[in-house]
Amino acid sequence: MSEVTVLPLRERKGDWIFIVFFSFFVFSSFAADLVNGVMSPSPQSDYFWARAVYNLYAVNNDPLLIANPSWMRAMCFLSAFVFGPFYVVLVYSFIKGKNWIRPFALIYAGMIIESMIVILYAEFAGDAHLFSQVCQGGVKTAEELAKIGLNQDLKVQDTFKFLAFNLPYKLVPLMLAVRMRRENPFCRKF
């Protein structure tokens, strides 16, 4: 097997995009996704990040995240406990130019792209059925639901804010798949 020459990071300037985004994704997985994976965002929570996710992101923006159905909890749990640690490995691999990350990065990109399609569909189509189930759980009026940040169809309320927070999680994995499309990705510039 022939020896491959990995370009130093200073010659792979485009890889800094991945390092910056994946470093931020580490933080968001362990802070925000942890909230929805093991609890729910709430303005009354004793946990700082549960209040922060609710107040800074979810209220008047993402009622489905506030409703936190079981499929959303499962996706956020995976993000917090699987993808969060993987982002650390990705950052390390990009800094050090570790070509062995390629197959794992491609699997990750495929998983995220698929899950983001599901999430985007659910977020923009809404879930009126889930809303009716929430109402059966003791909350009876739209006014009561509005007090906790929900609307009747559980659709995204602020498209710009939603996309500003979520678009990087859709675009960066696509860019990663492009970056990793050929063997020895760190032997060439992006």
What would the 3-class secondary structure string for the chain be?
A: CCCCCCCCHHHCCCHHHHHHHHHHHHHHHHHHHHHHHHCCCCCCCCCHHHHHHHHHHHCCCCHHHHHCCHHHHHHHHHHHHHHHHHHHHHHHHHHHCCHHHHHHHHHHHHHHHHHHHHHHHHHHHCCHHHHHHHHHCCCCCHHHHHHCCCCCCCCCCCHHHHHHHHHHHHHHHHHHHHHCCCCCHHHCCC
pLDDT of residue 87: 98
Q: What is the mean pLDDT of residues 125-151?
A: 61
Q: Which residue has the higher pLDDT, 25 or 64?
A: 25
Predicted confidence band at 157 (pLDDT cuts at 50, 70, 90)? confident
pLDDT of residue 190: 85
pTM above 0.75, yes or no: yes
Q: Given a cut of 80, is residue 22 above it in pLDDT?
A: yes
